[in-house]
Amino acid sequence: MISLSIFLFFIVIPNFTESSPRPKSGTNFEHHYRWPPPSYSYMGTFEKAAVTSDNGLCSEIGRNILIKGGNAVDAAIASMFCLGVTNPQSSGLGGGFVMTLYNRSEQKCHILDARETAPNAASREMFLNNPNGSRYGYLAIGVPGELSGYWLAFKKYGSHKVSWYELVKPSVDLCRNGIPVTPYLAHTMKVKEYHFVQFPSMREWINPVTGTTYQTGDIMRRIKLGKTLELIAKSDDPEEMFYRGEMADVMANEIQENGGIITKKDFANYKTREYPPLYTVDFAEDLVMCGGPPPSSFSVTQLIIALLGRYYGPHSKQNILYRSSLFYHRLIEAQKHAYAHRTLLGDVAFVPTVAALAKNMTTKAYIDYIFSRMTDHAQPSEYYLGDQNAKMDFGTSHVSVLDKDGNGASATTTINRWFGAAVQSDEYAIVWNDEMDDFSTPGQENGFGFAPSKTNFIEPGKRPMSSMSPMILFNGTDGKTKMVVGASGGSKIISALAKPVVRVLYFNETIKQAIDAPTLHNQFTPDVTQYDETSPKKLIEDLKTIFGQTFKFTTGFEGIAQGIVVGDDGKIYANGDYRREADMHPGGF
């Protein structure tokens, strides 16, 4: 039913392309633009296995688990525990994640949704007169799913060759011995210093020696969190302890005493969801893409890749240089169409039509239809058929793992904005998410006067829409893994992730070249393309004058990709995005 209604909706939309200015016949799109030199990031080359994450220490911890005999799932869990220590501004036990797993022997993917959940007392208008309440403080907290997801992944998909304790212990040691503060962490702490002073529970982030936030190169110890992690490491059933035991009592009481609405029953009722994966084919020779249904945005990200595959993929007869302004125009247009679809998505457990739409977006017929609407000039916003005020998300960390047996794990974890709700547990030093801000609120129009997204309104037990799109690509014939990829950076995840997949598959770049390349980001709302200092000025000028695109300069681009690629030579290549100054490097052997 949704398929028919969506197609009918498309058909009655006026055709804006007929009156739109188009490039003149014979226009030369090939200019010798000044492209940036290769970045300082390290591309690892490995024989058997690899891990890449948003922090090099965490990649090494994941690699060590693989050396001990653990599989991709074990390594991902250990790396994510680590990210909660080294990247506390973006991830941790107070948040949630989405994980895509690939079992090489089964040639099958599995999806874990451990996203945060709206408490039972939540309502769709709870922030109508208090918009900041969804961003800061205890009312902003969604029920965290991080530990529940780890435990399910370990029990059901782990190798059982390494213990739970071995996965958590390295992060306990980091808390006690201290972590070097990266430039990125130092920057985020400085930005949030005002909130750290306002909320007593966040004084941990103020250096007692200097009276200000920690600086780059400082060694920061997290003693209280280390004790919490040790409790979890030694527990026979950490999920029971966290969600239904003494920890749940303490955490629920702390939250309610400070104006929050999460109860112990909310903790007890939390469950990690498992979903059948979505698969996309017909975008590259013999390859299959897999990822999760909403609230993951895999269906959105794959649409960008598949649309560009219609121009440059295996069925294309065009020989257009991808360093041309025409390619970048098409990239922007593919992003607009895909992000417009994101505004129509929400939690599949609460909006039944969403599941059908997301699946439809992966089909050849639907992709071909959207491709038929791709034009050689920018169009008015209404042409792209989206809800023009969907809420966009923030933050996140990512880890990608490929083990020696060809199994893959791609996981993106988040507490939403930097340092989440800017509050943490006094007893356990867990930084709480502000995931309630990922929902939409009725009646709250944005600065453009557009209505909010109905599919993402707050409901008790609902999970907000996310840009997280962890994905794995494998050969549909022999089952061999080709890519394990994902990204962090809130709403920029989708554009940051689609870029390296397109450039590796269609233009034969290395994973480092593909990640290093300039990123252009258009998320449909607002309809303006963001670019940074790595994009050639002449390219931006041409996209404006020839194709009618509009732009906004952005410093410090937040979309950060992590990728592993198995080359035609059988070797494994891994790289992390240099843009996040977090001492990133891959691990492997």
* Per-residue CA distances from 187 to 262, 327, 412, 502, 531 (Å): 31, 34, 22, 31, 21
- Lowest mean pLDDT of 289-298, 450-459, 546-555, name the range: 450-459
Closest to 559 in 3D by CA, of 434, 469, 436: 469
To the question of whether residue 490 is assigned a binding role by annotation, the answer is yes
pTM value surpassing 0.85: yes
pLDDT over 80 (residue 518): yes
Mean pLDDT for the stretch of residues 250-268: 98
- Residue 3: which pLDDT band, with cuts at 50, 70 and 90? very low
The string of pLDDT tens digits covering residues 51-97 is: 999 999 999 999 999 999 999 999 999 999 999 999 999 999 999 99
- Lowest mean pLDDT of 382-386, 424-428, 530-534, name the range: 382-386
| Highest mean pLDDT out of 3-7, 49-53, 318-322, 486-490 | 49-53
pLDDT for the residue 581: 84
Q: Where are the beta strands (DSSP E) in 250-354?
A: 273-275, 278-280, 287-291
Q: What percent of the chain has pLDDT over 90?
A: 83
Helix (H) or strand (E) holding 553: strand 551-553
The string of pLDDT tens digits covering residues 116-147 is: 999 999 999 999 999 899 999 999 999 999 99
User: Please, are residues 494 and 467 in contact by the beta-carbon 8 Å criterion?
Assistant: yes
**Domains of the chain from N-terminus onward:** 57-270+397-455 (no CATH), 278-392+468-588 (3.60.20.40)
pLDDT for the residue 387: 75
Instruction: Mention every residue, 6+ apart, whose C-beta is less than 8 A from residue 589.
Output: 46, 47, 48, 49, 63, 66, 67
C-alpha–C-alpha distance, residues 69 and 64, integer Å: 9
Structure tokens given for 115: 């996203």
pLDDT for the residue 461: 98
To the question of whether residue 466 is assigned a binding role by annotation, the answer is yes
To the question of whether residue 467 is assigned a binding role by annotation, the answer is yes
The string of pLDDT tens digits covering residues 209-244 is: 999 999 999 999 999 999 999 999 999 999 999 999
pLDDT for the residue 448: 35
pLDDT for the residue 314: 67
pLDDT over 60 (residue 8): no
To the question of whether residue 115 is assigned a binding role by annotation, the answer is yes
To the question of whether residue 6 is assigned a binding role by annotation, the answer is no
Give the full edge-to-edge strand order of the sheet including 408-414.
273-275, 108-114, 96-103, 408-414, 397-402, 50-53, 587-588
C-alpha–C-alpha distance, residues 330 and 491, integer Å: 20
- Residue 447: which pLDDT band, with cuts at 50, 70 and 90? very low
Catalytic residue selected from 52, 188, 396, 413 = 396
Does 396 qualify as catalytic in the annotation? yes
Closest to 225 in 3D by CA, of 164, 171, 188, 180: 171
Average pLDDT, the chain: 91
- Residue 442: which pLDDT band, with cuts at 50, 70 and 90? confident
User: Which residue type is seen at 532?
Assistant: D
- Lowest mean pLDDT of 163-172, 305-314, 338-347, 447-456, name the range: 447-456
pLDDT over 70 (residue 25): no
User: Please, are residues 497 and 302 in contact by the beta-carbon 8 Å criterion?
Assistant: no
To the question of whether residue 387 is assigned a binding role by annotation, the answer is no
Count the residues in the chain: 589
Structure tokens given for 566: 């198995």
